[in-house]
Structure 1
Amino acid sequence: MTEQCTTEDTTAVPIDLSNQFLMAMPGMVEGSLSGTVIYVCEHTPKGALGLVINRPTDLTLGTLFERIDLELEIAPVKDSPVFFGGPVQTDRGFVLHAPAGDYSSSIKLGDLALTTSRDVLQAVAEGSGPARMLVTLGYAGWGAGQLENEMAQNAWLNVSANLHIIFDVPPDERYPAALKLLGFDPVMLTGDAGHA
């Protein structure tokens, strides 16, 4: 006998999706987050914050650094794309990186750190910054209980995050790579998946 998922009481069993990937289910997540893989930086009873890791923009790090009056000549870093991190605060930069250095606005995230201060970019320009990083403009955010409700409605699949996918897999291959961590092919997904 199978149980049906309901959305009546999502607060009964607290879930923590920090350090997880969320993969948008086709037909369930629309707009700017459709087809995304999101790395969840923080998930608490107050809400969640994550960064889209598979949506590069036309803006390069070299151009971004010019705009903030930093000189970046390190190749291939200067040609790396800046990512659309989500629809919230799209004028603000977020740097997801392997921990390195001591920056003024960093949050430790297990094997990673999230930094929002300029000093991490200054360190990159000087050649002493983190070796592995993903820079985004904006983030994806959820209020208290919102992500839990979306999970109960099967809008997202989740799996433990994988650093190789964040930093080494080409952006257009990150969604299928994240799904493979769950053991299936994205071609098999439909908007009705996950319903019992």
Structure 2
Amino acid sequence: MSETAEQPFDLSNQFLIAMPSMGESGFAGTVIYVCEHTARGALGLVINRPTDLTLGSLFERIDLNLEIAPIKDSPVFFGGPVQTDRGFVLHAPTGDYNSSIQVGGLTLTTSRDVLQAVAAGDGPERMLVTLGYAGWEAGQLESEMGENAWLTVSADARIIFDVPPAERYPAALRLLGIDPIMLASETGHA
């Protein structure tokens, strides 16, 4: 059976926007950029949860010298609860790095060489660095979609790179024409 027959839709290069009911899972208020979605499962990065860790501090931890002032104080993001000790760099498609996949108009790189390029001043100009990722086993995301846990919309790189983290959730909702105040965590009773 082909992968297409097993999976009727591909959510790669989409935003998953958590519905208020996702509060129990820890994903409430999150926007996830889906990097890969196949019949085997899905991988995405939370794009709106900065941590207290800065890029400068991260680079010190991995023995790289980052002296580029504009990005040194940029936050590292919580990418999701899976492999939180591993870094993921979502960036504009530049460079030729060891472990990268192309997603829409972006690149996801997991190899150290992208960070070495950044430290040397040759890396991508636009990037989001996360620790960890959000992952789903085969059929799990589709099941959550069937339970109306997520809204989806085509991703817009401007939201990832140009919109402040606290404004990314409402900005993603606006792509669907939804005002965040319209989403209620519970249904009312008459």
Deviations 1:88-138 (A, max 9, x none): 000000000001100000111121000000000000000000000000000
Which of residues 143, 151, 173 is equivalent to 1:157? 151
TM-score of the superposed pair, with normalisation by structure 2: 0.93
Which of residues 124, 131, 154 is equivalent to 1:130? 124
CA distance, structure 2, for counterparts of residue 159 and residue 117 of structure 1: 28
Q: Deviation at 1:32?
A: 2.6
CA distance, structure 1, for counterparts of residue 24 and residue 14 of structure 2: 20
Give the unaligned 5+ runs of structure 1. Answer: 1-10
Query: Could you list the runs of 4 or more consecutive aligned residues of structure 1 that deviate by over 4 angstroms after TM superposition?
Result: none
1:32/1:87 contact within 8 Å kept: no
1:36/1:52 contact within 8 Å kept: yes
Going from structure 1 to structure 2, the CA distance change for 1:12 and 1:69 (only over 3 Å counts) comes to closer
CA distance, structure 2, for counterparts of residue 148 and residue 168 of structure 1: 30
CA distance, structure 1, for counterparts of residue 69 and residue 111 of structure 2: 23
1:29/1:155 contact within 8 Å kept: no
TM-score of the superposed pair, with normalisation by structure 1: 0.90
What's the secondary structure of 1:76's corresponding residue? helix
Amino acid at match of 1:79: D
Deviations 1:125-184 (A, max 9, x none): 000000000000000000000000100100000000001000000000000000000001
Give the number of equivalent residue pairs: 183
Does residue 119 in structure 1 map to residue 113 in structure 2?
A: yes
Give the unaligned 5+ runs of structure 2. Answer: none
Amino acid at match of 1:49: L
What's the secondary structure of 1:63's corresponding residue? helix
Identity between Structure 1 and Structure 2 (%): 78
Match of 2:161 in 1: 167
**What aligned pairs does 1:69-84 form with structure 2 within 5 A after superposition?**
69-84=63-78
